[in-house]
Amino acid sequence: MVSPLDAPGTSSSAGEAPAGPARSPLERLLDLQELDLELDRLAHRRAHLPARAELARLREQVARLDSERASVDKRRSGLANRQAELERSIEEATERIHTIEKRLYHSDTAYAFRDQQAMAEEVKALERRRSELEDQEIEVMEELEPIDKEMAAIEARRSELVATGGGQMEVLGRGEREIDAEVAQQAAQRAPIVADVPEKLESEYERLRTKFGGVGVARLVKGSCSGCHLVLPATELDRIRHAGHEALFHCDQCGRLLVP
């Protein structure tokens, strides 16, 4: 009997943003950027799930095996055609032998000795021919044997790869679903933040984020831009310090929007 010692539920609802009304639109922009960076990280993680690379590798291997299989199959079907041809000829010879023998031994017609001799000769010739054909067929079959083995090995390897691929697909699906759930959770937090940011400021943010590949807004920390880490000139710092809350400043080194 299983009696799991369940730990008490530890679900904390820490999803809510701690931001109060005290946060300025620029600070909300930093919140938005943090969220968007997390979404970027999730997208990157989703695109680079190890199972995805493993699947690509498996697909490549299967494609290689398929072209190998096609060339082996071509060789095999050439030989199989040759074998079928030989079997047809053997059958024809056998039928011809039976027809003559029937005529010779089982008909009411009495053939002249010379004709009987001619028919017996033909039967012998046909038997020789048939024996040659049979030897040729054995040769073809001997050629086919390793090819069949090769083909079986390819098929076995292929099924193995396909089975592994199936497993990796499941792993990938699980990984994607996990990330998608996280994305949905993060994305749901976006709207309330965006609501706190004026439209113009948001579009400026989007423009800068695209331009800088992620970080378009930087906090001003001890006189330097946290985006490019360069110290701002004292006059510029002075200007920022004495400007109103509505004023926007860009780092004059990198161009990112600064949050004083």
Contact status, residue 237 vs residue 222, Cβ threshold 8 Å: no
Task: Identify which of residues 59 and 229 has a Cβ nearer to Zn ion in the complex.
Answer: 229
> Any contact of residue 258 with Zn ion (CB under 5 A)?
no
Spatial separation of the C-alpha atoms in residues 93 and 109, rounded to whole Å: 23
Bridge partner residues of 217 (DSSP) = 257
With CB under 5 A as the contact rule, the residue among 24, 116, 189, 253 that binds Zn ion is 253
- In the complex, the smallest distance separating the C-beta of residue 250 from Zn ion, rounded to whole angstroms, is 8
- In the complex, the smallest distance separating the C-beta of residue 251 from Zn ion, rounded to whole angstroms, is 3
Name the CA dihedral angle for 39, 42, 44, 47, rounded to a multiple of 10 degrees.
-130
> Any contact of residue 165 with Zn ion (CB under 5 A)?
no
For 111, which DSSP code?
-
- In the complex, the smallest distance separating the C-beta of residue 26 from Zn ion, rounded to whole angstroms, is 15
Residue 78 φ/ψ, nearest 5 degrees: -60, -45
- Please give the size of the binding site for Zn ion, defined by CB under 5 A: 6
* Site for Zn ion, residues 209 to 228, rule: CB under 5 A: 225, 227-228
Task: Identify which of residues 55 and 249 has a Cβ nearer to Zn ion in the complex.
Answer: 249
> Any contact of residue 251 with Zn ion (CB under 5 A)?
yes
Q: What counts of helices (H) and strands (E) characterise the chain?
A: 6, 4
Task: Identify which of residues 193 and 225 has a Cβ nearer to Zn ion in the complex.
Answer: 225
Q: For 201, how many CA atoms within 13 A lie in the half-sphere containing its CB? A: 23
With CB under 5 A as the contact rule, the residue among 172, 254, 257, 259 that binds Zn ion is 254
Contact status, residue 64 vs residue 108, Cβ threshold 8 Å: no
Interaction site with Zn ion (CB under 5 A): 225, 227-228, 251, 253-254
